[in-house]
Structure 1
Amino acid sequence: MSSPPLCSGFSPFFSKPQLSVASLWLPIIEHLIKTHFSKDKRLFVSCDRTQWKDYNLFVVSVIWAKRAWPIYWNFLDKRGCSNLSEQQALLRPVIRMLKSYDYVVVGDREFHSVELAKWLQAEGVAFAFRQKADTYIQLKGEDFQQLKSLDLSPGMKRFLTGVKVTKSKGFGKVALACYWKRTYKSRNLDEPWYILTNLGNLEETLAAYKARSGIEAMFKDCVRLVG
């Protein structure tokens, strides 16, 4: 796994051994966060991965004004999804930087991993990760069932607590926010959002997950910038 700059045109600059994302960029983004974010206001930190030209980019960003500021990133030396060790490696510097802030780590269905959620909970970090519809859960006093078997219809919201997630891992004492939005970007949605979280209620969880759209805007900005 390597850590070149987010825009590949800066590669010669960052190739100097004394310069790196950790040594040069992290102090800058830390200053920006201190300047623009109050410690009494919650931050939303989004994990995402995208295939950009020949690069498999994995990035963690803080959401600001419906955009995202990249905090830390890696270009994975493979195609396809990131794994738990890669996710932990990317998140550790972010967790250290934001230890005095109230923040939530959010991610789409690539980050549905029970192991990642369990690790973040052990680190004392709040999370909201969208789950795949075929994920198995167990509610108190009930048998295991797939998320898609929950009785939901467009417009419905549910917040389930004390949920055990997946038969094999059995990660319990977490919550699941379910929301079937009627439309998104003027189109009907085929299925609900199923969001695994350790936040306390439905409204907090939905606000956190909705905030992650800022990273999609950042990717679009980068594409327009570098072509």
Structure 2
Amino acid sequence: MLVWSLQNQKQVRIERLAATLPLPIQQNSRRRHIQRFLTLNALSVVLLWFPIIEAIINQHFKVGSQLTIAMDKTQWRENNVLMVSVIYQKRAWPIYWCLLGKDGSSNLEEQQKVLRPVIR
């Protein structure tokens, strides 16, 4: 439910996600649940996120059809994020990302590091 809520929102803010998440609890409780969920150490992109995004892709794309993959770098507060996404109906679904330990552009080595798990 959280992933689909993220796709429907133009801005990623915990307060907005809590307001739109269809759970039968108060908004403040939803906000705290989302915060706790996002800070879990057990969350792993490869072990948790890859199977979810694979299931979504298999559901929306036919075998042999063409996927549009985009790589983008963005500065989010003090974090420099390099992300690979699949494009579907004018929306980008994040597949894999990494935090860059520097300001400025990414180099070929960093781009390969973020693309390698996606291509596999």
Please report the TM-score for the alignment, with normalisation by the length of structure 1: 0.36
Tell me whether 1:71 sits opposite 2:95 in the alignment. yes
After TM superposition, give the deviation of residue 16 of structure 1 in Å. 4.0
Structure-1 separation of matches of 2:36 and 2:46: 16
Structure-1 separation of matches of 2:100 and 2:51: 23
CA 1:42–1:55 in structure 2 vs 1: closer, same or farther (change >3 Å)? same
Q: CA RMSD in A?
A: 2.1
After TM superposition, give the deviation of residue 14 of structure 1 in Å. 5.1
The aligned counterpart of 1:82 is: 106
The higher radius of gyration belongs to 1
How is 1:170-189 mapped onto 2 (pairs within 5 angstroms)?
none
How is 1:12-161 mapped onto 2 (pairs within 5 angstroms)?
12-13=36-37, 15-96=39-120
Structure-1 separation of matches of 2:115 and 2:60: 21
Do the aligned residues in 2 keep the contact of 1:60 with 1:70 (CA within 8 Å)? yes
Alignment length (residue pairs): 90
CA 1:38–1:92 in structure 2 vs 1: closer, same or farther (change >3 Å)? same
Amino acid at match of 1:40: G
Amino acid at match of 1:71: I
Do the aligned residues in 2 keep the contact of 1:14 with 1:20 (CA within 8 Å)? no
After TM superposition, give the deviation of residue 91 of structure 1 in Å. 0.6
In proportion to residue count, which structure has more helix?
Answer: 2
Structure 1 segments (4+ residues) deviating >6 Å: 7-11
Structure-2 separation of matches of 1:92 and 1:12: 30
Please report the TM-score for the alignment, with normalisation by the length of structure 2: 0.65
Q: Deviations over 1:113-138 (max 9, x none)?
A: xxxxxxxxxxxxxxxxxxxxxxxxxx
After TM superposition, give the deviation of residue 77 of structure 1 in Å. 1.4
Do the aligned residues in 2 keep the contact of 1:47 with 1:60 (CA within 8 Å)? yes
Structure-2 separation of matches of 1:74 and 1:47: 11
Percent identity of equivalent pairs? 51
Structure 1: gaps spanning 5 or more residues: 1-6, 97-227
Structure-2 separation of matches of 1:39 and 1:89: 26
Compare relative contact order (CA 8 Å, sep 6+) and give the higher one, 1 or 2: 1
After TM superposition, give the deviation of residue 69 of structure 1 in Å. 0.5
Q: Deviations over 1:117-169 (max 9, x none)?
A: xxxxxxxxxxxxxxxxxxxxxxxxxxxxxxxxxxxxxxxxxxxxxxxxxxxxx
In proportion to residue count, which structure has more strand?
Answer: 1
